[in-house]
Chains A and B, each alone.
Chain A
Amino acid sequence: MKIDCTIDGKTLTLSLNSNKPLSLILRENIGIDNINHCTGKMCGLCTVLLDGKAVLSCLVPAFELNGKEVITFDSFQRTRAMKDIEKAYEMVGAFPCTDCYSSRTMIFESLVNEGITDKAEILKQLSLVRCHCMVPDDEVEIVHKAIDLRRKRNVRRSQFS
């Protein structure tokens, strides 16, 4: 079936199987290799933003994509929002590993965007990434720091505008 959607800012018309998972569309049709596809093992390494909200792309079938906007780590890493997360990584001195960097970063962004500061809620959302490369306390601190940075940046922007 024909699917019209926007992926990383590009408006595309794709001819796809209606039930093809978004993770495989991104890997095979768009060529984004840092999206994993774990065939149902719930690895959490395929997170993207679908209309601004973090989702596991392996659970999103092609037919649900019509008219939707997908942002993957490929385009997100070039945004100002990414700078906040990167800065927070540096401030805390903890970085996700290469395997989960993109997914974890997208979930961090979704948490920062929603302004979630509750430790249990932060860890619950991140628990989906089944990669044991980060200490839970560091993860919470990263979200807190990134929210702080984002707030300061927004305040600066509103002062200058």
Chain B
Amino acid sequence: MADRKNFSRYNMRCGVLLHAKEGGVKITNIDAPELDPRFMLLTGSDMPGDNTLTLFSNTRPIITDSIISYPRQAVAALFAPDYESALLMADEIKIETEPLEEEPQQSLPYPLEYMWGDFNPEEDEEAGKYRKVETEFTLGHKAQPERRLYTVTAWIDGASLHIEAPTEWIELVRSTVQKVTGYPKRNIIIHTIPYISKNGEFLIDPAALAAIAATSALRTGLPSEIREETMNAHPGIVVKRETWIDEEGKPVSEKATMTVNQGAFLVIPEEYQRQAMAGLIPPYSLKSFHGSVAIETSNEYPAAFTTSFGFSEALAATEYHISRLAEKTELTPYLFRDSIEKDKRKFTDYLPSFDLADQKRTAEAVAIKSSYNRKWVANTFQHKSFGFLGYIKGIGFASGTGIAGFSTTFSKSSGFAGAITYTQKHSVVVSTSADNHPGTMKRWKKNISDRLAPGNPDKVTFTPIFNNETIDTGPDVLSRIVASFSSQLENASKKLAVLKDEEQLPVSIRFDAENTSFPCEFESSGCGAVALEVMIRQCDMKPVVTAIWASFSFPAILDETSLKNSLKRTLMTTVHEFGGVIEDDFSLYLEISASGSGTLSSPQELARGLAIGALADALMQAGGKTAASMPVSSTKIEEIFHE
């Protein structure tokens, strides 16, 4: 990899974006004062090539040139010799708009439906035997700038165009820059900045910023940096569910409808539907089930990946619903789960059949550690009453199974791949675009060199090029290739160890999802349970999360400390994202175990789903249904108790 930027900051252009104030309008005029040559204003029409960012089949403008679809959409970029000048001048530029006469329609995918069984309790002869339980689970669309600034820099060095950015998907940056500037892909060198992507903020936006910065660098001939605030944008979700339960409270038939508001632009909606469906299917057996996931758009900020791509949210809705079903029996939600979940989970097109013993074990561990049953009963007595204590408590419970990476359908159609080559110089070249985690790269190097170049890990190098083309291993989140990359790399190394002695060098093996057969859309990747306690004090109405107890079981654990840290972080940030307040006396109990062999994948997705589900459940017990419509806030809680 070429050296990172090494140029004077005093000889560079600093850029800021001009954002739209509202969505659903049309730009009529951009009124800018006369700019001296040191400034450069880039509008949509100034972009040299294709002014779009393409996420699979969906596109969106990088800088809009006519229709403003959502608030905070980029309307122009302004480059100046320093940020002060850029920001002050940006204030002088006025964007005039008028309402749209007709809103442009995006082609939405049909709702994804999945069903089994034709048992209809309403038409059944013994209809009187069954009762219907209906619930609604809501996660409001959220789009707010986080507090974090990040920069994307572009500069030219000889024939190469260098981009420095925090990015989860290197190939998206490269292909977007190529499309906008026309610069050959091979000569675009990406330098990644270490990042933590709590809300998928570095998946899409850095690619657009890189294209803008690259345009400025090419036009001015000067290094150009652009600065933005990270956005936390997650979709709005409503899950309506009706379940028919028998006299003992056991569910027999269910209908679940999920509606997703992805904001102004669609983000791989078909894949979202599949992942959401995997979370929507309940873990208990049913005579009949009908699930549907519909995607909508709105004039709101486009949602991104938020650790999960629909699965966590759907899983949370399912877990929330199970606790509501439990209310119809005399059992606590934990005991109810234990009574309705069989030993094996039903095989569906979305998840294979597997033993639920591990899941039940984690649930039991959490229930015991948190004294769940006792607390649940005590809190039930105190429902909606502050009493003499001046506070009210709720305890929530959720348990479930995680999924690994992208779906089979998506992985096969996306073309994400990797390759490994044994060269004539007896060195090993791994072709992948996912080379942004030094820790993982070190581990891969060691594993590969053990097999192909013993004791010489430096003979293993990584490159994004394969057969003179750049290779796309997919985004850093959720990729099924990345999820099982380690094992695929391992298998390819094994094969290569034999081939290198049999065939003429160089010899390569390309691996992708296309040649692998998966029985279902997803594989299970560990399971777990979470209990969470919420306390609402009368004096401040804050939804304070006082404790979380969690237990997880994964197929394999590579680094226990890192995994525990990551899970703790996910549990806490998820709770915070949905309005839970964490104070100094917060405590977190976490245990993890390995169940055998296999690949660990997307553990945060499972933790997120269970945290949301448990939080909603706890809020429901403490404050009732409205509190569970998240994100929760002190204002919402005040409204409940004000009634």
A adjacent to B, CB under 8 Å: yes
Residue ranges of A at the interface with B (Cβ–Cβ < 8 Å): 17, 20, 24, 27-29, 31, 33, 36-38, 41, 43, 45, 90, 93-95, 97-99, 120, 123-124, 127, 130, 132-137
Within the complex, what minimum Cβ distance (angstroms) separates B634 from chain A? 17
- Residues from chain A with a CB closer than 8 A to the CB of B565 are 93-95
B569→A130 contact, CB < 8 A: no
B147→A137 contact, CB < 8 A: no
A99→B83 contact, CB < 8 A: no
Given contacts A95-B565, A136-B586, 12 further A-B contacts (CB under 8 A): A17-B84, A28-B9, A33-B151, A36-B148, A38-B149, A45-B148, A97-B196, A99-B148, A132-B575, A134-B568, A134-B569, A136-B585
Interface residues of B in 176-198 (CB under 8 A from A): 193-196, 198
Q: Which 8 A-B pairs have the closest CB atoms?
A: A43-B147, A38-B147, A98-B196, A123-B584, A132-B572, A133-B569, A132-B576, A93-B561
Residue contacts A-B, CB under 8 angstroms, 20 given:
A17-B84, A28-B14, A29-B9, A33-B150, A33-B193, A36-B147, A36-B149, A38-B147, A41-B147, A93-B561, A94-B565, A99-B198, A120-B584, A124-B584, A130-B147, A132-B572, A132-B573, A133-B573, A134-B568, A135-B572
Chain B interface SS verdict (over half): mixed
Instruction: Given A28-B9, A93-B565, A98-B194, answer yes or no on A127-B148 (Cβ-Cβ < 8 Å).
Output: no
B582→A132 contact, CB < 8 A: yes
C-alpha gap A20/B194 in the complex (Å): 27
B60 at the interface (CB under 8 A from A): no
- Residues from chain B with a CB closer than 8 A to the CB of A95 are 565
CB-nearest residue of chain A relative to B569? Answer: A133
B588 at the interface (CB under 8 A from A): yes
B446 at the interface (CB under 8 A from A): no
Interface residues of B in 139-167 (CB under 8 A from A): 147-151
A93→B573 contact, CB < 8 A: no
- Residues from chain B with a CB closer than 8 A to the CB of A127 are 584
- Residues from chain A with a CB closer than 8 A to the CB of B339 are none
> When the two chains form the complex, which single residue of A37, A93, A94, A130 contacts B149, counting CB atoms closer than 8 Å?
A37
B147→A136 contact, CB < 8 A: no
B82 at the interface (CB under 8 A from A): yes
C-alpha gap A132/B575 in the complex (Å): 9
CB-nearest residue of chain A relative to B548? Answer: A135
- Residues from chain B with a CB closer than 8 A to the CB of A137 are 587
Within the complex, what minimum Cβ distance (angstroms) separates A131 from chain B? 8
B537 at the interface (CB under 8 A from A): no
- Residues from chain A with a CB closer than 8 A to the CB of B569 are 97, 132-134
C-alpha gap A53/B147 in the complex (Å): 24
- Residues from chain A with a CB closer than 8 A to the CB of B586 are 135-136
- Residues from chain B with a CB closer than 8 A to the CB of A132 are 569, 572-573, 575-576, 582
C-alpha gap A95/B588 in the complex (Å): 15
> When the two chains form the complex, which single residue of A45, A123, A133 contacts B572, counting CB atoms closer than 8 Å?
A133
B564 at the interface (CB under 8 A from A): yes
Within the complex, what minimum Cβ distance (angstroms) separates B338 from chain A? 29
A43→B148 contact, CB < 8 A: yes
C-alpha gap A117/B572 in the complex (Å): 25
C-alpha gap A74/B2 in the complex (Å): 22
- Residues from chain A with a CB closer than 8 A to the CB of B195 are 98
- Residues from chain B with a CB closer than 8 A to the CB of A90 are 561
- Residues from chain B with a CB closer than 8 A to the CB of A38 are 147-149
C-alpha gap A108/B569 in the complex (Å): 19
CB-nearest residue of chain A relative to B560? Answer: A93
C-alpha gap A135/B568 in the complex (Å): 8
- Residues from chain A with a CB closer than 8 A to the CB of B14 are 28
Contact mask for chain B residues 542-586; partner A; CB cutoff 8 A; 1 contact, 0 none: 000000000000000000010011001100110110000010111
C-alpha gap A29/B83 in the complex (Å): 10
B587→A135 contact, CB < 8 A: yes
- Residues from chain A with a CB closer than 8 A to the CB of B572 are 132-135
- Residues from chain B with a CB closer than 8 A to the CB of A17 are 84
B588→A135 contact, CB < 8 A: yes
Instruction: Given A17-B84, A98-B195, answer yes or no on A136-B148 (Cβ-Cβ < 8 Å).
Output: no
Within the complex, what minimum Cβ distance (angstroms) separates B144 from chain A? 11
- Residues from chain A with a CB closer than 8 A to the CB of B564 are 93
CB-nearest residue of chain B relative to A120? Answer: B584
C-alpha gap A99/B198 in the complex (Å): 10
Within the complex, what minimum Cβ distance (angstroms) separates A44 from chain B? 9
- Residues from chain A with a CB closer than 8 A to the CB of B196 are 97-99
C-alpha gap A130/B576 in the complex (Å): 10
C-alpha gap A100/B587 in the complex (Å): 20
C-alpha gap A127/B586 in the complex (Å): 13
- Residues from chain A with a CB closer than 8 A to the CB of B576 are 132
> When the two chains form the complex, which single residue of A20, A31, A37, A133 contacts B9, counting CB atoms closer than 8 Å?
A31
Name the residue among A31, A43, A97 with the largest chain B CB count within 10 angstroms: A97
C-alpha gap A45/B568 in the complex (Å): 20
CB-nearest residue of chain B relative to A93? Answer: B561
C-alpha gap A6/B195 in the complex (Å): 28
